[in-house]
Amino acid sequence: MNHDIKEILISQEALAARVQELGQEISEKYKGKELLMIGVLKGANVFMSDLMRAVSVPIQIDFIAASSYGSSTESSGVVRIVKDLDYSIEGKHVMIVEDIIDTGLTLKYLYDNFSARKPSSLSIISLLDKPERRKADIKVDYTGFIIPDEFIVGYGIDYAEKYRNLPFVATLKPEVYSK
On whether the CB atoms of residues 34 and 60 are closer than 8 A, the answer is: yes
Look at residues 2, 55, 52 and name the one whose alpha carbon lies nearest to residue 24: 55
The answer to whether 42 and 99 have CB atoms below 8 angstroms apart is no
- The rounded radius of gyration (Å) of the Cα atoms in the chain is 16
User: End-to-end CA distance of the chain, in Å?
Assistant: 16
Euclidean distance between CA atoms 1 and 164, whole angstroms: 11
Out of 50, 86, 99, 102, the active site residue is 102
H or E element at residue 41:
strand 35-41
Q: Which residues pair with 2 in a beta bridge?
A: none
What does the CA dihedral 159, 164, 10, 69 come to, rounded to 10 degrees? 40
Q: Is 102 a catalytic residue?
A: yes
Please give the Cα distance from 80 to 123 (Å, whole number): 21
Show which residues are catalytic: 102
